[in-house]
Structure 1
Amino acid sequence: MNIAARLVNSTHFQRFIIAVILVNAVILGLLTLDLSPGTRSLLLLIDQACLAIFVAELALKLVVFRRDFFRDGWNIFDFIVVGIAVMPDAGGLGVLRTLRVLRLMRLISVVPSMRRVITGMFLAIPGGASVAAVLAILYYVGAIIGFSFFHQSVPEHFGSIGTTFFTLFKMMTLEGWPDIAGQVMEQHPHAWIFFVAFIILTTFTTLNLLFGIIVDAMQNAKEEDVREQMAEHGIPPDEESPEMRLVMMERDIREIRALLESMALPGQRTAAE
């Protein structure tokens, strides 16, 4: 049991699983090409080997963690993804079988930085929901105004509520909105007031507020991750403590160093060694 626990929690084991996930990603991509029967059979064999490794990993975790396995949301995520992949390719279940590509999503549960991003996104849901509600109200009001003013003169963009909603979405993305505005302003010279006001309220205000909430939530998720690391090392998780600042600085330095090393050319890397 101790050997299995050390294996599951070891860094080398995690790196091995990441490598298998990446190999599996390449295999699934190659299987979409027009290949010879022999090559396809070989790739399918490697794909089954990757799946067997994932099943063995989950079995090890179930043995080590037992009931605690299902207390971790990421373990449940892995269990569902691998469970879909091992479903028999027959009958109605064949449709679910095509979802084996979801195995690539396991990178999110294995790589800590990706987990932090997803955690931050979940933390941003409450604040993001409020912003989304405000955005929906602005859309509804804008759609009613746009349809009332322009549905007769420019029916291709404002002919119905549904068409108007889609037109407003294109305007919010700033994709081709000058063409739409120019076409409307040929018959309604003062229509620029509507377009400018809508874009300012949605794109430049509401969406930027949503992005700010997401960034703040990701920062909070990163700080929580640091606190957990400090707790594992027996350091009091005081937000103002020098230890907290030091751990965050060391983490940032490691990430910057890894980024610089990945950007270095092979010749430069050899010379540095």
Structure 2
Amino acid sequence: ALRPRPSLDVRALNLEAGRTAQGPLRWVEGDVFQLTVSAMIVLNIVIVVHSALYEEAASKYWMCEEFILGFYCMELLLRILHFRCHFFCTAFSEAVWNYLDILLVTYGIIDQWAFMAAYGHRTSIMVLRGFRLLRLIRVVRLVQALFRGDFGWVDGANFQFTVGFVIALNAVFMGVETSFVGNPLWWWVNQAFLSFFIFEIAMRMRRSGLARFAFKSEELLWNYLDTLIVITGVLDQWILPLLALLMRQEDLVAGGGIGQLMMLVRILRLMRMLRLLRLVKAVRPLYHLAVGIMKALQSMAWVLVLTMVALYASALLTTNLIGKAMIPAAESIDPETRALFGNVPDSFFTLFGLMNRQYWEDIAPIFDAMPWAKPVWVIFIILSSWALLSVMTGVVSDNMLEVRQAQEQKDSDAFEEFRDRLLRVLTEVFTAADKDGSKTLEKEEYMEVLSSPFHVRRLQMLANVPTQDMINMFDWLDVDAGGAISLED
């Protein structure tokens, strides 16, 4: 049965039914304005944290803080004017967010404007450190966005391309930062990258569900890797600097706590290199190449074993014949050249280098003393280098072809499964909406379906269609203007 309960998830649909506020300020509920508010919250959080960590920089942000507070006041006023009494008398979960916004904005007005006008300065430094950090609670406004709207765009090509581009840009920046150390701009750039990665993984969790993301996803290992990267980034850039600040305030430097903390920070910064693995995952051809190589390593195991056996046998032979001078001609060879074959490990390493076109100039005296050894070395190079290299190339090529065919089959099966699931859901929704059993949906029946958050969420999670397009879908499908659509349409 249909469940036409109003929900924040389908605000665009509720506009059609008159369940949300109308008027010239409807854009306050739009995606552009909400994205602007979210960006302002993130900027405010970064400024608050940076001011707490570096007190000498706090005075440089007063203009930004004034602008942000003014923006918050404007945003709160626009929402009150738009929703009017419904802003205060709405559902409990929504009212809590609204009253929290009022509390935080009121505190900002008292802290930044009222005390400044009355005393010429802001609140005392102790209150500043204790209460101004409470403005970080504004981050809950970002959490609120995770429970609104559909997130079908997370699986879209545009978002995936953006993620791949940011990962590649982060990889380039890591090299630039390593080459030019000490630039204060790097701190801000790192905050931007970390914020984006947190946003991206939060959207993926919201899209697939936490249980599926953590336990049932086909890319479970990659999900764990992405989570590890984000956690280490948060520890490195946010948690540990705040702990260092608290430890300095409590005079714990003498106890060696800061030194141990800084060592942990250095280790976590090395963990940033794990982000390069995400670049492999983000670029699909590169990912297929990496998977093919990993699978080829399994097939190349016996080829590598054969190579090691051949090198070991050759090392035993050259050590005895050349290094130990078992043949008289070897005694006339230069001692430095004979040292290359002085023992089995040295001979093994020298022969491995010869396979890769190294040490040829160093072993030239051997051919002067023993001309008959030239054909032996030719045979060794043909077998150890040319033949084995060809075998390895063939193994890798075969595995790359198998990986590509397997991926194409996997994509085809996934598309068929998605198509069947979508058809099943459409049939269920259509049957529930077709109350008169006419096997067609009229305009009123169609809009009643869209008033049900349960069915709308199911359709959005499968079809990845924006809510406004779902409203217009009836007119698009009703090509004959007959006022009804069928399941085949």
Aligned partner of 2:164 in structure 1 is 18
**Aligned partners of 1:143 and 1:165 also within 8 Å:** yes
Distance (Å, rounded) in 2 between the aligned partners of 1:3 and 1:216: 46
Deviations 1:53-96 (A, max 9, x none): 11221222233332332441332333334444444363442224
Distance (Å, rounded) in 2 between the aligned partners of 1:10 and 1:2: 18
Deviations 1:166-223 (A, max 9, x none): 211211112343x244221222222224322221121111122012111110111111
User: RMSD of the alignment, in Å?
Assistant: 2.4
Task: Report which stretch shifted further, 118-127 or 218-227.
Answer: 118-127
Residue 175 of structure 1 aligns to a residue in which SS?
coil
Aligned partner of 1:247 in structure 2 is none
1:232 matched to 2:427? The reply is no
2:173 maps to a residue whose letter is: I
Aligned partner of 2:211 in structure 1 is 67
Aligned partner of 2:399 in structure 1 is 217
Q: Which has the higher contact order (CA 8 A, sep 6+)?
A: 2
**Aligned partners of 1:181 and 1:192 also within 8 Å:** no
Distance (Å, rounded) in 2 between the aligned partners of 1:199 and 1:143: 14
- Tell me the TM-score normalised to structure 1 length: 0.75
Distance (Å, rounded) in 1 between the aligned partners of 2:377 and 2:150: 62
Distance (Å, rounded) in 1 between the aligned partners of 2:232 and 2:372: 56
Aligned partner of 1:76 in structure 2 is 224
1:168 matched to 2:364? The reply is no
Aligned partner of 2:379 in structure 1 is 197
- Tell me the TM-score normalised to structure 2 length: 0.44
Task: Report which stretch shifted further, 124-133 or 158-167.
Answer: 158-167
**Aligned partners of 2:152 and 2:207 also within 8 Å:** no
In the TM superposition, 1:1-273 aligns within 5 A as 3=149, 5-34=151-180, 40-65=183-208, 66-70=210-214, 71=217, 72=219, 73-88=221-236, 90-93=261-264, 94-152=266-324, 153=333, 154-177=337-360, 179-234=361-416
Distance (Å, rounded) in 1 between the aligned partners of 2:312 and 2:196: 50
Unpaired segments ≥5 residues, structure 1: 236-273
Distance (Å, rounded) in 2 between the aligned partners of 1:55 and 1:159: 57
**Aligned partners of 2:350 and 2:359 also within 8 Å:** no
Residue 159 of structure 1 aligns to a residue in which SS?
coil
Unpaired segments ≥5 residues, structure 2: 1-146, 241-260, 325-332, 418-489
Q: CA deviation at 1:26?
A: 2.6
**Aligned partners of 1:31 and 1:43 also within 8 Å:** yes
Q: How many residues align?
A: 231
Q: CA deviation at 1:226?
A: 1.2
1:15 maps to a residue whose letter is: F
Task: Report which stretch shifted further, 88-97 or 212-221.
Answer: 88-97
State the percentage of identical aligned residues. Answer: 26
Deviations 1:89-131 (A, max 9, x none): 6344222422313312211111111111111112212211111
Name which one, 1 or 2, has greater alpha-carbon Rg: 2
1:69 maps to a residue whose letter is: F
